[in-house]
């Protein structure tokens, strides 16, 4: 969510919405397919696979945070949101996708949560169909929530762009939070920080 808020404030609602789309629906397709194929069970039963994904996720969060911290320029007198908005659509989608796919808790949640609502004896839908349907509903609901966050953050960013000092502090804060979450994830020993 911090990534979506940062994108909304810094680059506007459109970029934040694309990031949310990457985080929820694009990553969701991959995660739900992995769940259906049973890869999620590998992550839940293999400590090594889970640890590797956790470290990749931690490194990615730290990298995103450091990027924000390095790009926060205290001497900026005017924040040109048009320049900031030049984040290509595919970059916003990709960063949202990577952010969610490297979060081990996201796939662990799907693996732990969705099967509770599966009825193997249902004659109308197969287990695979039920997993696909419930997974899509979960990811679409998440997209709707993050879309509201993205639009709100974009509106706030419009105000903040007229007050550039706030943008610098927002970038610093978001960068520090991402670095902190990445370090917490790395040091948590399997307890996800995201």
Q: Is the pLDDT of residue 79 over 60?
A: no
Predicted pLDDT of residue 75: 56
Q: Judge whether 42 lies within some domain.
A: yes
Range in 25-29, 121-125, 134-138 the model is least confident about? 121-125
Higher pLDDT, 124 or 123: 124
User: Confidence band (pLDDT; 50, 70, 90) for 190?
Assistant: low
Q: Judge whether 59 lies within some domain.
A: yes
CA distances from 104 to 66, 92, 182, 193 (A): 21, 21, 12, 10
Q: Mean per-residue pLDDT for 16-29?
A: 95
Q: Judge whether 90 lies within some domain.
A: yes
Which residues, in sequence order, are CB contacts of 178 under 8 Å at separation 6+?
A: 2, 3, 61, 62, 64, 65, 68
Q: Is the pLDDT of residue 191 over 50?
A: no
Q: Judge whether 192 lies within some domain.
A: no
CA distances from 52 to 1, 80, 106 (A): 23, 39, 15
Q: Mean per-residue pLDDT for 33-47?
A: 73
Q: Mean per-residue pLDDT for 137-164?
A: 88
Residue range 165-189, pLDDT digits in tens: 777 777 788 788 888 888 887 887 6
Q: Judge whether 138 lies within some domain.
A: no
User: Confidence band (pLDDT; 50, 70, 90) for 124?
Assistant: confident
Predicted pLDDT of residue 114: 77
Predicted pLDDT of residue 91: 93
* Residue 119 three-state SS: coil
Q: How many domains does the chain have?
A: 1
Q: Which domain holds residue 115?
A: 2-120+143-187
Higher pLDDT, 132 or 45: 132
Q: Judge whether 165 lies within some domain.
A: yes
Q: Judge whether 126 lies within some domain.
A: no
Q: Judge whether 131 lies within some domain.
A: no
User: Confidence band (pLDDT; 50, 70, 90) for 74?
Assistant: low
């Amino acid at each position: 969510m911090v990534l979506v808020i940062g994108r909304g404030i810094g680059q506007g609602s459109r970029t934040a919405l694309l990031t949310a789309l990457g985080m929820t629906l694009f990553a969701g397709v991959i995660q739900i397919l992995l769940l259906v194929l049973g890869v999620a069970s590998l992550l839940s039963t293999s400590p090594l696979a889970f640890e590797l994904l956790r470290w990749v996720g931690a490194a990615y969060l730290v990298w995103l945070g450091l990027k924000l911290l390095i790009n926060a320029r205290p001497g900026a007198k005017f924040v040109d949101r048009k320049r900031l908005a030049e984040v290509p659509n595919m970059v916003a989608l990709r960063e949202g996708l990577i952010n969610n796919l490297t979060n081990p808790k996201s796939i662990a949640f799907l693996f732990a949560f969705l099967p509770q609502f599966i009825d193997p004896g249902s004659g109308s839908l197969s287990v695979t169909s039920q997993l696909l349907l419930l997974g899509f509903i979960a990811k679409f609901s998440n997209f709707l929530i993050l879309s509201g966050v993205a639009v709100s953050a974009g509106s706030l960013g419009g105000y903040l762009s007229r007050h550039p000092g706030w943008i610098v502090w927002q970038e610093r804060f978001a960068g520090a939070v991402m670095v902190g979450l990445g370090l917490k994830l790395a040091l948590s020993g399997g307890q996800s920080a995201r």
